[in-house]
Chain A
Amino acid sequence: MTRSEIIVIMGLMAFAVRALPQLFFVGRKFPPAWDRLLRYLSYAFICSIVSITLFMSGARFEAGAAPRRGLALAAAIFVAHKTKSAVTGMIVGALLVLVASRIR
């Protein structure tokens, strides 16, 4: 299956999840507990992907780059928390990881 085909199928699945409740579940309520579970799942997925994007290359742990990327991630999180701005955190982290990779 090509990447474009996967993207099209993914788009159709996303459309189904968006459209079906509008068409068939009007007036029904989603249980709050399930709503919370879906939010937990989204957050856990995002964090897992942050981790594997930064620390893994295929099936290999990038031991050489992990310390500077971990440090940059911690800095990005700290700055985002303090400034309440994800963009500021991202810029600080990206600059830090760039400088650290040049110093190495």
Chain B
Amino acid sequence: MLFGARFCQGMRAAVPILIAFVPSSIAWGIAAQAHGLTLHEILLMSALVYSGPAQFAVLAPLAEGKSALQVLIAGFLMNLRFLPMSMTLAPFFRGVKRLPLALASHVVSASSFIVPYLQFEKERESNSTEVAALDGHGNLAFFVGVGASSFLVWTAGTGVGYGVALGFPPGFEEALKFILPGYFAGLLVVEMRSRAMALVCLASLIAAVPGALLSPGWGWLISAILTALLGWGWETRR
């Protein structure tokens, strides 16, 4: 059932995600190599954490030997966004046993959430199906088709990035250091939805350096939390 038609349908639906994952995973692999991570650590992190933003967030503190607590908190806060995604998908997997559900949840990511969610909603509307009557196993197969193929491309891509970075001649450190922050900044701009979000981003960008100068370990983390809370409070009050 899992590798049946619905799984293949999920894999086909994942093609745009896979295309987007190739440059970002290679960029992360290059940056991780430039920060001194080994191939084993790069592949381990991509396979276990499987989250571009969280992996990006912990790269510098991990490479600089900052406290484990700081690295874990930064990663955890970045990954909290998976909570609502996972919760939103859950009703579509009705009737599936807990073990396959838990295993499949490892491949939840922003992209592998959006594609199946939109597909399930579309199918539900076109069939006028109630949530209670959904084909949970079929939906899970579709989700795994999207998620597993994205996961494989991401993990392999970071390994390729490590190899690519090794091939760069000396003198390219500046460009290598720029690749990942430049990519993420561009990604945010492309996905930016509201003016409040743009202000939060700009304020975080500016406040991080004074924050890090005041408290090298935690300053940037605290300034980001404060800026996000201020932006959220402002938008909620409007």
In the complex where A7-B45, A17-B79, A25-B87 touch, is A47 in contact with B232 (Cβ < 8 A)? no
Interface on A for B, CB 8 Å cutoff?
A: 1, 3-15, 17-23, 25-30, 33-56, 58-59, 61, 65, 68-69, 72-73, 76-77, 79-81, 84-90, 93-95, 97-98, 101-102
Taking a contact as CB atoms under 8 Å apart, the answer to whether A51 and B80 are in contact is no
Interface on B for A, CB 8 Å cutoff?
A: 23, 27, 37, 40-41, 44-45, 47-51, 53-54, 56-60, 62, 64, 68, 71-72, 74-84, 86-91, 93-94, 98, 101-102, 104-106, 108, 171-172, 174-175, 177-190, 197, 200-209, 211-213, 216, 220-221, 223-225, 227-229, 231-232, 235-236
Residues of A within 8 A of B56 (CB): 46, 49
Residues of B within 8 A of A95 (CB): 175
In the complex where A6-B62, A90-B179 touch, is A44 in contact with B228 (Cβ < 8 A)? yes
Taking a contact as CB atoms under 8 Å apart, the answer to whether A101 and B189 are in contact is no
One of A43, A51, A56, A68 near B197 (C-beta < 8 A): A43
Q: State the 7 A-B residue pairs at the shortest beta-carbon distance, nearest first.
A: A11-B48, A80-B186, A86-B186, A89-B186, A59-B216, A47-B204, A51-B208
Residues of A within 8 A of B201 (CB): 43-44, 47
Taking a contact as CB atoms under 8 Å apart, the answer to whether A46 and B57 are in contact is yes
Distance of A22 Cα from B106 Cα, bound (Å): 11
Given contacts A33-B232, A59-B212, A73-B181, 17 further A-B contacts (CB under 8 A): A8-B44, A11-B49, A18-B79, A19-B105, A19-B106, A27-B91, A30-B83, A36-B232, A40-B228, A41-B224, A44-B201, A45-B221, A50-B184, A86-B184, A86-B187, A87-B183, A90-B182
Distance of A9 Cα from B79 Cα, bound (Å): 13
A56 to chain B, nearest CB (A): 5
Distance of A27 Cα from B67 Cα, bound (Å): 38
Residues of A within 8 A of B188 (CB): 43, 46-47
Distance of A59 Cα from B223 Cα, bound (Å): 15
Distance of A27 Cα from B182 Cα, bound (Å): 39
Residues of A within 8 A of B182 (CB): 72-73, 76, 89-90, 93-94
One of A3, A39, A43, A98 near B172 (C-beta < 8 A): A98
Taking a contact as CB atoms under 8 Å apart, the answer to whether A42 and B185 are in contact is no
In the complex where A10-B49, A21-B90, A50-B185 touch, is A41 in contact with B225 (Cβ < 8 A)? yes
**28 A-B interface contacts by CB (under 8 A):** A3-B37, A10-B45, A11-B49, A14-B48, A14-B51, A15-B105, A18-B79, A33-B236, A37-B228, A38-B84, A41-B80, A42-B78, A44-B200, A46-B53, A48-B204, A51-B208, A56-B212, A59-B213, A65-B174, A72-B178, A86-B183, A86-B186, A86-B190, A90-B23, A90-B178, A90-B179, A93-B178, A95-B175
